Structure 1
Amino acid sequence: MERQQILDLYEWDDGVCFRHPNRGTIPTACVKVLHPRGVGQHQVRACGDCVIGMEDIRREAAARAGSKYEPGHIGECDL
């Protein structure tokens, strides 16, 4: 699957990438929702480069485990 096809599997909105905050507000996808005690919720967001990097890690792990890899599932962002 091509890079853009993988990125199209995610919902994008302006935000700050958790690994690249110096890039400022850029298109990001939610990859995790944290629920700090007494603070409500906080979205962890990732830029396209980070999403592709995390997908690569998932693909490699699936190959090592002999499992099927399906892109588009790095996050837990059901709000």
Structure 2
Amino acid sequence: MEPQKILDLYIWTPGTCFRHPAEGAVETAVVVELHPRSGPAEPVRACQRCVLSMEDERRELAKELGYDYEPGHAGGPFPP
């Protein structure tokens, strides 16, 4: 699947990428929410480069384990 089609599966808003916090606010998507024992859920955001990297990792893992790859779930549980 083309990278832009994968990116189009996500909702992009300005935020801080969890892998590149020093870059400041860039276009990011929520890839997972952390639920601490106390307090509200904390969204974990990733930039486009990181989302594509995470999608590549999911695609490879799916291939190794014999699952069909379904884009749009970077940061989500695996198997889908």
TM-score (norm 2): 0.88
Partner of 1:41: 41
TM-score (norm 1): 0.89
Cα root mean square deviation, aligned: 1.1
- For residues 24 and 54 of structure 2, the distance between their equivalents in structure 1, rounded to whole angstroms, comes to 20
Superposition pairs for residues 1-79 of structure 1, below 5 Å? 1-75=1-75
* Structure 2 residues without counterparts, runs of 5 or longer: none
Aligned partner of residue 59 in structure 2, secondary structure: helix
Residue-pair matches, total: 76
Aligned partner of residue 44 in structure 1, secondary structure: strand
Aligned partner of residue 27 in structure 2, secondary structure: strand
**Greater than 6 Å deviation, 4+ residue runs:** none
* Structure 1 residues without counterparts, runs of 5 or longer: none
What is the aligned-residue identity percentage?
57
Aligned partner of residue 44 in structure 2, secondary structure: strand
